[in-house]
Structure 1
Amino acid sequence: MAELKGTLERLPGPLRAEVARYWESFAAAADSAGVVRPTGGFLEQMIKVWASSEFVARTCIRDPATLMAAFDRGDLATRYAADEYQARLERLLVDAVDENQLGVALRRFRRWEMTRIAWRDLAGLAGLEETLGDLSELAEQLIDAALARLGEWHCRRYGQPRDADGQPQRLVVLGMGKLGGRELNFSSDIDLIYTYPRQGQTDGDRSVSNEEFFRRLGQRVSKLLAEPTAEGFVYRVDLRLRPFGDSGPLAMSFTAFEDYYQNHGRDWERYAMIKARVVAGDRVAGERLLADLRPFVYRRYLDYSAFASLRDMKVLIAQEIERKGMRGNVKLGPGGIREIEFIGQAFQLIYGGREPALRERSILRVLDILATSGRLPVIAVTELKQAYDFLRRVENRLQAWADQQTHHLPEDDLAQLRLAFAMGFANWRAFTAELTRHGEAVTQQFTQVFGDPAATDAKPQGTRADLALLWQADPTEDNALRLLAERGFENPALAWNRLQALKNGFSYRAMSQRGRERLDELIPRVLTAVSAIAQPTSTLERVLDLLESVARRSVYLALLTDHPQALAQLVKLCAASSWIGKHLARYPLLLDDLLNPTTLYAPLDRQGLALDLERQLARVPVDDSEERLNALRYFKQTQVLRVAAADVSGAMPLMIVSDHLTEIAEVLLRKVLELAWADLLPKFGQPRCMSDGVERDARFAIVAYGKLGGIELNYGSDLDLVFLHDSAGDRQLTTGPRQIDNPSFFAKLVQRVIYWLTTRTGAGDLYEVDTRLRPSGRAGLLVISFEAFAEYQYHQAWTWEHQALTRARAVAGPPELAERYQALRRDVLRMARNPQTLRCDVCEMRERMRAELDASNAETFDLKQGCGGIADIEFMVQYKVLANAQRYPDLVIYPDNIRQLDGLERSGSLSIADAARLRNAYRNLRRRIHLLKLQEQSACVPVAEASDARKAVVGIWRRLMEDAATIPASET
């Protein structure tokens, strides 16, 4: 055939005979199958591809009909649509009724589609990103298809896995490495991790635990994909990146998974998790898991530990290259693919916590961002991207030759010529010259990024040698106790036991070598710092609790070791408050705030809070709702820490503390409401209504009761909220693409508000929300109209609900609605009431509350619920306000207890003496509860501690609430 001969002549001489043999086999197979042989441009393309890939040639010889059908459909000439792999695979698997048939179908599909991808790559019809993307998408669809069918058959046998609440559970498959980054090479292993949301058991006749169910399912998936058969294999599966590696469970619940990374995660696992992506199974749950793990991968502050880790990695890479002689390895050798990836990962780990744009899985996207941000010169990024393109194409051509995983440059002449030809070079010398040029460019950039800094061995400043020996040496117990006593530790035995427990405990032994080195350097500094303050033993306990909680995340140890001022602030705050110590241990990202005492002890005012929140949210991608959740939570934790720091420093009185905590909550509530509106408006549109013949927007407000309403928020307080809207009249509908009635819209709005407030992320939640104070309590609607609310308050509300109304105010929504609510509240509170009935109702409710909640006993007094405690003061004030507001309307202006007492005194409803006693008692009791909260103690004290305040309150209660003769004539 003259055309074939002419095409073969264009090949390098040594390759012609090889391709000619392929042609002979193909021609015979095509003739036998009655398939027309290729001609023209298609023939030229085929010869070129075959010269570069024996795998493609043998696949074509094996099934010439499929090749020609693909050519006729245009499959080889065009890129698949986004869902093409999935659609074709689903059609193919319709008749797969058992595991054997499924395995055959998957292998055949993979073999042909790999042939197609390699064809387009080797023929120059697809660029690198398309090729890597197609290889990754193909793998993802094959894994997902295998899991879907095996999971269905598995459920038929054992039943559906469910959690303790009966919710169905599904396996989540994480793709790691190049699969996770959508950068899979031609014959790569696939690195997978199996996990599932919650523990439980299946609901079938042959019930098993969820752990056992998913373990068996994972085994079947891995075997189906990796087991060699007559049809070959689908993918080699590597599960060693899972928690605890080969010794760990094959499938792990989210809780155990997160616990592993929090307590055992190592630096290399952080690098690996950069690429992690859900590739099969429950994708929604998997994305939640990855969001929860994000703080493990990306630190909020500059990742101080990354510098040292990356310096060590550079040394290890160089040693590995020399030890294994990998200079001819395009992946791991000098100037290879790994060095390019490592450059990108370095910047991701160091800056990704503060720059969400760097949380990319694709190295090419990361390099683009580094150029845009100026972290790498544009020319350097250009060189790195060109080198990456070249090296990845070399890698794919090495592997496409025989569908084998290799990264080594060939040594025999024919293979070298074949690779050079596949890369578009006339000979090996020309190819290696270009390879060398790219490798040198990569090495130059790698050296600039990871050049060894000057070695430092500075000792911790101010560390007393004797205290250091308590940790670094092994003194006898007697010597240790003597030394601790000399240095002022009030309980030397407890301090020594805590140090010994840490050093001999699991946390220390389970730490990495680097982590132990950092802790060994840090503990003597901690001992020196705590020995200089009052009560060093209790402070040491709190600091050690925190260090134990972050011990296996040594980045925090590096922060405290490298920044003495941060350690000094930590010790100071832990000395003042165990609550702050636990707050920092719970949210260790806040340790970064210890670096700047100027801002740490200066809580922002309302305007400053709003501006700071906007700045933090501005850093988050608009479409990343999960990161917005984290930003809101981090904002709250940071601001609360500032208030607590100023509080324990003695610079802020209790009432101002509550003001700040209340302002933080209000700023967040307003932002959350704004975000909730933004979630719903695109789908449903603006709620509108026709009222009194005028069409208008329907509006919404959030009303706060309790501590938030009374401007008395404490650390950890929940929010008592009621939700109101003013939609009324006719045509109460939204205006968007999906119209719904206004009540339904506002119900969805409340659900979004609660979601934004209560969803727990790695940064915690914002607030617990209590909605039981709404009309009819739990039986009532979650959101109610103003008209219905007013009707309820005027005609149906219980006395205790009017009591609650005295401490209520609108905190979010349009000013007009706040004014309308205030007017309604004023009118309800000023209603005429029978004082005797009112007093009986208030006393009855107080006795019921005391019976249920009072924790007092013969030795201790409950500061809040005990007889003579805070609740008694509040109930007396509420009774007096409700009894006198009709005559003295100013009593209902303010929602907080102190200003209501002031108003009762001014109006003469309380005597000057009684008002003063109640104010003093109220402040003292609240301050005592506040201090106990900061020390993580219950609100109960020895009876003698609060006797004076208690006696004053009890005396006034008996006169006002138990003696009918004390009811003034003006109130009857």
Structure 2
Amino acid sequence: MSFPIAISPIIAPVVNKHWQAFCAHCVEDPSGFSPDILSDPSNSSFLQQLANTWAGSDFAAEQCIKHPELVYQWLSTPDLLSRFDPELHHIQLSEIVADIHSEAELMKALRLYRNREMVRIIWRDLNRTASLQQTTADLSAMADACVDQALHWLYRDCCKGFGTPMGSDPGQEPEPQQMVILGMGKHGAHELNLSSDIDLIFTYPHKGETVGGRRSFDNQEFFTRLGQRLIKVIDSKTADGFVFRVDMRLRPYGSSGALAMSFSAMEQYYQDQGRDWERYAMIKARPVAGDVSAGEQLLQTLKPFTFRRYIDFGAITALRDMKKLIQREVKRKGMETNIKLGHGGIREIEFIAQSFQLIHGGRDRSLQRKALLDVLDVLRTSDYLPEQACLELRDAYIYLRDLEHAIQALKDQQTQNLPDFEEPQNRVAYSMGHPDWVTLIKVLDEHKARVVHHFDHVIADPDEQDDDQPTPSESWKMLWDGELSVDDEISLLETKGFSDVKTVHNRLLALRDGKAITRVRRQSRERLDTFIPILMEQVLTTEAPDVCLLRLVPLVESVLRRTAYLVLLMENPAALDHLCRLCTASPWIAEQITRHPALLDEFLNVGNLYNPPKQAELADELRQQLAHIPEDDLESQMEVLRHFKMAHVLRVAAAQTAGTLPLMKESDYLTWIAEVLLEQVVDIAWRNLIERHGRPANRDGDPCNPGFIVIGYGKLGGIELGPGSDLDLVFVHDGADNKETDGERPLDSGTFFTRLGQRIIHILTTQTTSGSLYEADMRLRPSGSSGLLVSSIAAFEKYQLNDAWIWEHQALVRARAVAGDKHLTARFETLRKKILCQSRDKASLQKEVSDMRIKMREHLGSSKNDADGNPLFHLKHDKGGIVDIEFLMQYAVLAYSHDHPGITRYTDNIRISESLEHSNIISHEQGKQLREAYKFLRKASHSRAFLNERSFIKPDLVEPFRSQVGNLWQEWME
């Protein structure tokens, strides 16, 4: 009896065999199903899918033959085959388990459910009505539901005999304890294949004892017995098969460890004894059954073990060892046909992704994903790997996993080996959409070759020669090892292209023969000996090898006891190349990295180095980094804030040096950095104070969050921060007068906000190992240094309207709220406009502004001559410089805003000049000249700062800008 529709000759023999068995069983089946129902021509599409399923899976065919009602059920209700709702597994199994009264019934019900659902999943996978992600998610959800439902039934049964396990935190009332089951590996990542083991770890929150049983057991014994029963229910093979094979070897101490451990024991183990491969495994850990919320809390506690806060150089060596182990295993006989463990297989793709997760995941939370395809997307979008590499790895992974499913579906066997015989080969090729086995192997080999290429380039061993990289000259090694005479050393330096040979030679000798190098460990010395010849080759590719080497030697000296940084550079030639080029161009960059070598992390992702994020992205990144730190650990919070600033200012410097960041975007970036830092500083200081003293009252007397804002003046307010700028700040609040906070140690409102301001300044200015965050200048507050540190909004308004000097109103032109309460920010903006729009006598205003400018020149002016004795121009303070432009804009706003209130809107000089032009206060030509002059002067100022040089340049370099500014000054102010 042949199958009712025409099918491919490749699969016809096996499908016809299964069809005959199916028809025979239907005759014997008491339900009386007839195969004739299927033969209707309208069912041809269904029959084709049935043929595809039976061609690809003897297991599915056997289940259909054994339970023909499944076929008719799917025929009559096709939605059952098209659905994808992982949550249904829990719903369906909970209904099934509710009517079970014995462990034997539980085992049978789970196996029947598993077999039925496996046929459905295989059907969808082989007919490509489900994506790879849907198939693996479906399988993983089924595993979750089977384990969870079995656990709950067994837990209740164990409690009847042994009592209920109880436990608590110190000082708390005991509560019933639930088991937490962590799914590891593919299970944890929602990536189970058609015949996966499930790797589990059993744990529970607290130690304690059972209550209510025939006798008391400690919690560990209770949960061990529960775990043993669960493994039997899930793993044992009966006449109905098994549910899932269970592997417990990933638990602490492996097979010799306790089957179930308390949270505290787990934390202690990973803190004291956790190994690198266990970090690798914990990346995919997920609570899959039991008390899932408690499991999430446990994983949060263990996260610092898995993901280091800063780049984890220590993981590099461990990863390289893992990679070598993989490479050795691949060479073993029989591995070439294994699509998981063989060269170019699934495991190598997983290693690539998880290597980046282990090294960078602590700082880049976007890498803390469990699913491999999600990680590859992050590696692509964040430029950790080239887009083409990520796409090739993604395509290869999907192909290999589909092929893995096709192999496993045949017999429901746990294997990743390609079949040896013609019939299964033809069936697998058919399931994969290929005309024959030869075509499949050709496509497979192409994918594997791409994987091998990318695998070989991840965590490359510097001792292994790379055909794409030049071999460091043997002569540099001889020089560094002291095998050359002094004359030969100098001759080598000259021949290679160094100019100041004497200085370079002396500096190298000071490093090579200095006392510091004799105190380093043997491993550090070996790394240094490997690194120096590589460095010598690399500096020769820069425009000024002498400058580059002399700026990088201090960095080498600073990391002699932390030579993992050198490993990073050896393993990442692109990072070393960018480091050399940027340090050649900018002494500021060289000094910053020497002082803070952790900044080398930024060179590992060159794409980020030159692509500034948006302000919202900056804020989110900082929040994520601080989320790892306990709220009461101020020291660690301050270190995170400082590293964040240094890393992003380094990016600004790199982009400025490379010429990829226009001036306005450069200032925007620097200003955004300050703003997101201030927001977090205010938040940290606020939480710290209310924890101690409670919340202050608002003006209605209710405890809540009263308004508090940080007002930025000067360059911060004008969105024009430069490298190294101070922050001109004023603090304003809107709390109630004469009211106390609602905490155990109450403070009156004024004292509370004063302490809030003091704490903010403390966080900003304290010198830590990473330096200070910013210098804060508070002299622009009402009454200057003699005034209150924090003013109420009412007092600020009164002062500005009645007592402020003209120069304070000038400063207000460039003021804006940069952190704090949005409602108070809106009030401040209204007040600022009101103050600036007051009517003023232009003649007296002109005199006061001009007099103030003269005083500034007398107090702040400086002079300097070049080597020939000719005077130099100071970009900021000399006539026609930056300050003159700022004063002109401030004067114009104060003089004309009464009649043109729109010119008060902006705080930056560029847009102020544009608004003056639109209001016909200055001509288009004047506005254009001012803007060009201002951009040129500020760009020059920024460039000098990154070169660690003062703001002097030759006067002829600023013409005609200087004259144009001077002409407008003379027209308006003189």
What TM-score results when the alignment is normalised by the length of structure 1? 0.54
Output aligned runs, 1:548-697, within 5 Å.
Answer: 560-562=562-564, 597=595, 618-620=619-621, 626-627=627-628, 635-636=636-637, 638=639, 670-672=682-684
Find the counterpart in structure 1 of residue 17 from structure 2: 18
User: What's the secondary structure of 1:278's corresponding residue?
Assistant: strand
Aligned to 2:316: 307
**1:811 aligns to 2:756 (yes or no):** yes
Q: Does 1:287 align with 2:296?
A: yes
> What is the deviation of 1:100?
2.1
2:205 corresponds to which of 197, 201, 204: 197
The 3 A distance-change label for structure 1 pair 723 and 348 is same
Comparing 122-131 with 167-176, greater Cα deviation is found at 167-176
Name the % identity. Answer: 37
1:166 to 148, 173, 188: 173
Contact residue 626 and residue 640 of structure 2 kept, 8 A: no
Letter in 1 for 2:202: Y
Structure 1 residue ranges without an equivalent (≥5): 463-517, 526-556, 567-592, 601-611, 643-663, 677-701, 705-718, 730-741, 748-784, 824-972
**What aligned pairs does 1:261-280 form with structure 2 within 5 A after superposition?**
261-280=270-289
Shift of 1:203: 2.8
Deviations 1:584-607 (A, max 9, x none): xxxxxxxxx99853699xxxxxxx
Matched-pair contact (CA < 8 Å) for 1:356–1:621 = no
Larger displacement relative to structure 2 (25-34 or 74-83):
25-34
1:59 aligned onto 2:63: yes
Are the counterparts in 2 of residues 48 and 123 from structure 1 also a CA contact under 8 Å? Answer: yes
Per the TM alignment, residue 198 of structure 1 is displaced from its structure 2 partner at its CA by 2.0
Name the CA distance, whole Å, in 1 between partners of 2:184 and 2:87: 22
Partner of 2:949: none
Structure 2 partner of 1:86? 90
Structure 1 Cα separation of the partners of residues 89 and 234 of structure 2:
17
Counterpart of 1:152 in structure 2 is 156
Residue aligned with 2:695, SS? strand
Equivalent in 692, 698, 723 of residue 726 of structure 1? 698
Q: In structure 1, which of residues 98, 109, 116 is the aligned counterpart of residue 120 of structure 2?
A: 116
Name the CA distance, whole Å, in 2 between partners of 1:239 and 1:638: 39
Shift of 1:33: 3.7
- For 1:806 and 1:202, how far apart are their aligned partners in 2? 52
Question: Conserved in 1, the CA contact under 8 Å of 2:641 and 2:677?
Answer: no
User: Aligned letter for 2:38?
Assistant: P
CA separation of 1:438/1:808 partners in 2, compared to 1, >3 Å: closer, same or farther? closer
Q: CA deviation at 1:98?
A: 2.7
Instruction: Report 1:219-368 matches (<5 A).
Output: 219-368=228-377
| Pairing 1:695-774 to 2, within 5 Å after superposition | 720-726=692-698, 728=700
SS at match of 1:425: coil
Distance 1:562 1:594, change over 3 A: farther
Mapped contact 1:810–1:821 kept (Cα < 8 A): no
**2:200 aligned counterpart, secondary structure:** strand
- Partner SS, residue 190 of structure 1: strand
* Number of aligned residues: 592
Q: Cα–Cα, structure 1 residues 673 and 802, in superposed 2: closer, same or farther, change >3 Å?
A: closer
Letter paired with 1:105: A
User: 1:243 and 1:520, CA in 2 relative to 1: closer, same or farther beyond 3 A?
Assistant: farther
* Bigger mean CA offset, 348-357 vs 631-640: 631-640
The Cα of 1:408 is off from its aligned counterpart by 0.6
Of 50-59 and 255-264, the range deviating more from structure 2? 255-264
Distance verdict in 2 for CA 1:262–1:596, change over 3 Å = farther
- Residue of structure 2 in register with 1:106 after alignment: 110
CA–CA separation in structure 2 for the residues paired with 1:178 and 1:809? 54
Tell me, in whole angstroms, the C-alpha distance in 2 between the residues paired with 1:15 and 1:441. 35
Q: What is the match of residue 776 of structure 1?
A: none
Name the counterpart of 1:28.
27
C-alpha distance 804-17 of structure 1, shift in aligned 2 (>3 A)? closer
SS in 2 for 1:7: coil
Q: Secondary structure at the match of 2:221?
A: helix
Determine if contact 2:363/2:625 at 8 Å carries over to the other structure: no
Cα distance in 2 for partners of 1:791, 1:359 equals 40
Matched with 1:38 is 38
Cα pair 1:159 1:207 within 8 Å, conserved: no
Q: Tell which deviates more after alignment, 240-249 or 311-320.
A: 311-320
After superposition, give the CA deviation of every residue in 1:705-738 in whole Å (9 maximum; x if it has no partner). Answer: xxxxxxxxxxxxxx73232223649xxxxxxxxx
Indicate if the aligned counterparts of 1:211 and 1:253 stay in contact, CA closer than 8 A. yes
Q: 1:449 to 1:821 in 2, by over 3 A?
A: closer
Contact residue 356 and residue 619 of structure 1 kept, 8 A: no
Superposed displacement of residue 211, structure 1: 1.6
Instruction: Quote how far apart the aligned CAs of 1:160 are.
Output: 3.7
Query: How far is the alpha carbon of 1:94 from its aligned partner?
Result: 1.8
2:361 is aligned with what amino acid? Answer: G
Letter in 2 for 1:811: L
1:436-481 CA distances to partner (integer Å, 9 max, x unpaired)? 111112112212325432369999x99xxxxxxxxxxxxxxxxxxx
What letter is aligned with 2:183?
G
In the alignment, what sits opposite 1:939?
none
Equivalent residue letter for 2:56: S
Flag the 1:302–1:18 CA change in 2: closer, same or farther, 3 A.
same
- The alpha carbon displacement at 1:328 in A equals 0.1
Supply the distance in 2 between the matched residues of 1:803 and 1:746 (Cα, whole angstroms).
Answer: 15
Secondary structure at the aligned position of 1:161 is classed as: strand
Alpha-carbon shift at residue 295 of structure 1 (Å) = 1.8
Give the Å deviation of 1:632: 7.8
Partner amino acid, structure 2, of 1:295: P
Are 1:442 and 2:444 an aligned pair?
Answer: no
TM-superposed deviation, 1:338:
0.7
For 2:910, the equivalent position in structure 1 comes to none
Tell me: CA distance 1:349–1:92, structure 2 relative to 1, closer, same or farther (3 Å): same
Whether contact under 8 Å (1:193, 1:239) holds in the other structure is yes
Q: Is the 8 A contact 2:698 2:705 kept in 1?
A: no
- Kept in 2, the 8 Å contact 1:192–1:237? The answer is yes
The Cα shift of 1:667 comes to 7.9
The answer as to whether partners of 2:696 and 2:752 remain within 8 angstroms in 1 is: no
What is the distance in 1 between the residues matched to 2:52 and 2:354?
37
CA contact (8 A) 2:740 2:746 kept: no
The 3 A distance-change label for structure 1 pair 669 and 232 is same
Give the whole-Å Cα distance in 2 for the aligned partners of 1:310 and 1:333: 18
Contact kept in structure 1, 2:565 and 2:597, CA below 8 Å: no
Quick check: 1:201–1:210 contact (8 Å CA) kept in 2? yes
Separation (CA, whole Å) in 2 of partners of 1:50 and 1:559? 63
Going from structure 1 to structure 2, the CA distance change for 1:398 and 1:72 (only over 3 Å counts) comes to same
Deviation at 1:305, TM superposition (A): 2.5
Q: Once the 2 structures are TM-superposed, how far is the Cα of residue 618 of structure 1 from its aligned partner?
A: 2.8
Among 216, 220, 224, the alignment partner of 2:225 is: 216
Contact map agreement 1:304 1:559 (CA 8 A) in 2: no
Match of 1:851 in 2: none
Given the superposition, is the C-alpha separation of residues 633 and 348 from structure 1 closer, same or farther in structure 2, using an over 3 Å criterion? farther
> What's the CA shift for 1:362?
1.0
The answer on 1:178 being equivalent to 2:178 is no
Following the alignment from structure 1 to structure 2, what is the Cα–Cα distance between the partners of residues 724 and 64?
Answer: 72
1:414 counterpart (423, 446, 459): 423
Task: Quote the residue 2:609 is aligned against.
Answer: none
Shift of 1:31: 6.9
Q: Give secondary structure in 1 for the equivalent of 2:191.
A: coil
**Contact 2:697/2:739 (CA < 8 Å) preserved in 1?**
no
Give the C-alpha shift of residue 70 in structure 1: 3.6
Structure 2 unaligned segments of length 5 or more: list them.
Answer: 466-471, 482-519, 528-558, 569-590, 599-612, 644-675, 707-734, 761-780, 782-787, 796-974
> 1:175, 1:276 within 8 Å by CA — same for their partners in 2?
yes
Q: Deviations over 1:513-551 (max 9, x none)?
A: xxxxx98747999xxxxxxxxxxxxxxxxxxxxxxxxxx
Shift in Å, 1:822: 13
Deviation for aligned residue 1:620: 3.7
User: Is 1:616–1:631's contact at 8 Å kept on the other side of the alignment?
Assistant: no
Quote the offset at 1:256 in angstroms. 1.5
- For residue 508 of structure 1, what is the aligned residue in structure 2? none
SS across alignment from 1:252: strand
